Amino acid sequence: MNDIQQLIRKHRFFAGLQESDLELAAGCAANVHFPAGQHLFHEGESADHFYLLRSGRVALEMAVPGRQPVVIETLQAGDVIGWSWLFPPYLWQMDARALLAVRATAFDGKCLREKCASNHDLGYELAMRFAAILTHRLQATRLQLLDVYGSHH
Amino acid sequence: MDPTIESPARPQPATEPMLPDPWRVERVHAETADTFSLELTPVGGPRPLAFSPGQFNMLYVFGVGEVPISISGNPEIESPLVHTTRIVGTVTRAMGKLKAGDLLGVRGPYGSGWPVDAAKGRDVVIVAGGLGLAPLRPLIHHLLAHRADYREIALLYGTRTPQDRIFRADLRRWTARRDLQAQVTVDRAVSGWTGHVGVVTKLVAHAPFDPSNTVAFVCGPEVMMRFTLQELQRRGVPPERSHLSLERNMKCAIGFCGHCQYGSMFVCKDGPVFRYDRVRSLMKVREL
C-alpha cells in the first residue's frame, strides 16, 4: 500500500471502499498544496481533477461583472471539491480559491474515468458517493436560499 | 448519570407569578442593526434572580405590553440580568427605545432549562442559528465555568451575514479558546470575510465530537433546527440526547392561558427546552 492509498483511506469520502478500489483510485492521485489566495481552478477551465481536502479552507465563488466575486460556500478538511470532471463537457462551473493554505489530494479525472469505464464496480461506488455529496449540497443550498435567519422567521 | 434525564430542579419566580417586579435598565447594547441586549438590575437594591440556562422571563414595557424573552446573561453571576431580543413587533420596538435608567417589569424565571447534568462526562455540541445564540449563551457560560465536567465542547453558529453576528466579543473570546471548538458560518459573505460560508448544518459533519457519547443543544429558527437535528442523527447523535428550544406565542407563562399549547404540552411550562424525541412527531404537524 503506498502513501497516498494510506492517506485517502482515512478520508471519509472513501470510507468503506474495498482496498482494491482504493488502490485503483490512488493510482490516479497526487498530493497538492495551494497557498492562501491561490485559485484551485477557474470557471470555464477544463475540469480534469477533483480534490479531497485534508486541511485549509476553500471558497467556491462566482464572478459577477463589476462586483467582487460572490462566495457561494466554503469547504474545509474532510470535504470533496469538484464533480465537473465526472460529466461532459468537463468544464468547471465556478472558481475555487484557497482562503487558508490548503493541503489536498488531487485525482486525475481522465485517469479515473477510464478506470471507472473498465471497472463498473468502482464506477458505481464513486457515482453513488458523488451523488450523495450532490444531494447534500443541494439540500444545504435550498436551506441557504430560505434565508431562515431573517426577521420573518 | 442517565443522559436522557432532564435537570430535576429549576428556579421558580420569587414573587407572585403574574406580578411583574420593576427592574432598571442599566445599559442597552446594540448587537446588530435590529437586535439589542438589555442589562437590568432590580429596583430597590440587590435581589438576585437565579435562573437556569435556557429559562426565560416575561418582560413588560409599561403601558405597551409583555413578551417572553430568553435570558442571555451569565448564570454564574448575580447581576446584571441580561436579555437579548430583536425588534419584531410593538413591544420589542418600544423595548428597543428604552435607555439607561428606564424601568421595565420582569416576572420569572419560567420554563425548563438546558439539561446540563445530562451532558456531564460527555462531549457537547451546541448549534445556534441567528438570535438562537441568545438562550444558548448562558449554557456556554455554564459549561465553561464548569469546564472539567465536560469532554469536547463544540459551538456551531450560523447567521445571515457577518454583520448579523450577535455577542461578537464573546465569539472572539470563544474562538480563541483551545478548550472550545467554536465555528461561525454565514449564509452570505461580505468582502474581507475569510470564515465559513454556508448553512450551519454543514458544520455538523466536521465538528469534533464522538456521536456515541454526545449531548446536543440546538436553538434557532425552526426550519434550521429541523435540518440540524437531521444532521446530528446522520452523525449518530440519537434524538433522546438532542435538545432544542421552541418558541411559541406565550402570554401567561405558567400554563394557564393555553396560547403556547403544543400538542399535550405547553411551551411555557413544559418547555421551552424539549428533548427531541418527545417533540419530533409534533414538529411535523404544520398547524402547530
* Predicted pLDDT at B11: 78
Domain boundary among B74, B93, B110: B110
Q: For the segment A54-94, what is each residue's pLDDT rounded down to a tens digit?
A: 999 999 999 888 888 899 999 999 999 999 999 999 999 99
Return the higher-pLDDT residue of B113 and A153. B113
On whether both B240 and B257 belong to a single domain, the answer is yes
pLDDT digits (tens, 9 = 90+) for B9-47: 677 776 677 788 899 999 999 999 999 999 999 997 656
Query: B34 and B123: one domain?
Result: no
* B274 lies in the same domain as B131: yes
Quickly list DSSP for A44-89.
Answer: TSB--EEEEEEEEEEEEEE--TTSPPEEEEEEETT-EE--GGGSTT
Domain membership of residue B242 (yes or no) is yes
B72: nearest Cα among B14, B103, B102, B29: B29
Is A89 inside a domain boundary?
yes
Flag if B159 and A149 touch (Cβ within 8 Å). yes
A151 touches chain B (CB under 8 A): yes
**Is B75 exposed, middle or buried (CB count within 10 Å of its CB: 0-12, 13-18, 19+)?**
buried
Optimal mutation site among A13, A70, A71, A75, interface B, most CBs of chain B within 10 A: A71
Q: Round to whole Å and give the CA distance between B205 and B194.
A: 20
Which residue, A52, A118, A29, A46, is CA-closest to A84?
A: A46
pLDDT for residue B4: 47
> Binning pLDDT at 50, 70 and 90, where does residue B288 land?
low
Closest residue by Cα to residue B235 from B187, B203, B197 = B203
d(CA B24, CA B20): 13
- Residue A150 sits at the chain B interface (C-beta within 8 Å): yes
- In contact, B39 and B26? CB cutoff 8 Å: yes
Q: Does B1 have pLDDT greater than 50? A: no
Look up the CATH number of the domain holding residue B186: 3.40.50.80
pLDDT, residue A4, reads: 87
Tell me whether A67 touches chain B (CB under 8 Å). no
Domain housing A8? 3-146
Asked if A146's CB is within 8 angstroms of B158's CB, the reply is no
* Inside any domain, residue A67: yes
* CA dist B209 → A25, A55, B204, B206, B235 (Å): 29, 18, 9, 9, 10
Find, among B230, B268, B273, B275, the residue nearest to B252 by Cα.
B268
- Alpha-carbon span B96 to B85, nearest angstrom: 9
B264 touches chain A (CB under 8 A): no
Domain membership flag for residue B6: no
B59 and B148: one domain?
no
Does residue B2 fall inside a structural domain? no
Q: What does the pLDDT look like over B46-78, one tens digit per residue? A: 567 889 999 999 999 999 999 999 999 999 887
CA A106 to chain centre: 9
| Tens digit of each residue's pLDDT (9 = 90 or more) over B86-116 | 999 999 999 999 999 999 999 989 989 999 9
pLDDT tens column, B258-273: 787 878 888 878 878 9
Residues of chain A with pLDDT > 90: what percent?
76
In whole angstroms, give the CA distance from residue B230 to residue A145: 18
B179 close to B153: Cβ distance less than 8 angstroms = yes
> What residue numbers bound the domain in which B81 lies?
21-110
CB contact under 8 A, A140 and B160: no
**Which of A73, A99, A151 shows the shortest C-beta gap to B86?**
A151
Cell triple for residue B196?
Answer: 465559513
What pLDDT is attached to residue B287? 67
In sequence order, what are the residues at sequence separation of 6 or more whose Cβ sits closer than 8 angstroms to the Cβ of residue A100? A36, A56, A57, B194
**Residue A115: DSSP 8-state:** H
Total-model pTM:
0.90
Prior bond to A89 cis, omega within 30?
yes
Q: Residues B236-249: what's their mean pLDDT?
A: 90
B111 burial via Cβ count (<10 Å: 0-12, 13-18, 19+): buried
Residue B40 lies in a domain: yes
CATH number of the domain within which B97 lies? 2.40.30.10
Are residues B105 and B179 both part of a single domain? no
What pLDDT, on the 0 to 100 scale, is given for residue B217? 97
Number of domains in chain B: 2
Encode pLDDT of B172-221 as tens digits: 999 999 999 999 999 999 888 889 999 999 999 999 999 999 999 999 99
Give CA separation, A85 vs A52, B29, B94, B212, in Å: 14, 50, 56, 37
Distance CA B8, CA B6 (A): 6
Bin B256: left if φ > 0, else alpha if -120 < ψ < 50, else beta: alpha
Residue at A72 is within a domain: yes
Share of residues in chain B with pLDDT > 90 (%): 70
A147: nearest CB among B185, B187, B189: B187
Q: Is it the case that residue B6 has pLDDT exceeding 70?
A: no
CATH number at residue A74: 2.60.120.10
Note the pLDDT of residue A152. Answer: 47
**pLDDT of amino acid B3:** 45
Is the Cβ–Cβ distance between B180 and B207 less than 8 Å?
A: no
B77 and B185 share a domain?
A: no
Choose between B256 and B204: higher pLDDT: B204
B153 pLDDT more than 60: yes
> Which has more pLDDT, B2 or B216?
B216
User: Is the pLDDT at A27 greater than 90, yes or no?
Assistant: yes
Q: Which residues of A touch B158 (CB under 8 A)?
A: 149
Work out whether strand A49-62 and strand A70-76 pair parallel, antiparallel, or are unpaired: antiparallel
- Residue A16 CA to residue A32 CA, distance in Å, equals 24
Residues B44 and B147 in one domain: no
Name the residue with cell 414595557. Answer: B61
* Beta-ladder partners of A61: A71, A95
Q: Are B136 and B260 in a shared domain?
A: yes
The count of domains in chain A is 1
Band of the pLDDT at A153, cuts 50, 70, 90?
very low
Q: Is B192 on the interface with A (CB under 8 A)?
A: no
Q: Average the pLDDT over A98-105 and give the result.
A: 96
CA distances, B86 to each of A13, B32, B116, B164 (Å) = 41, 9, 26, 11
The neighbouring-strand residues paired with A27 are none
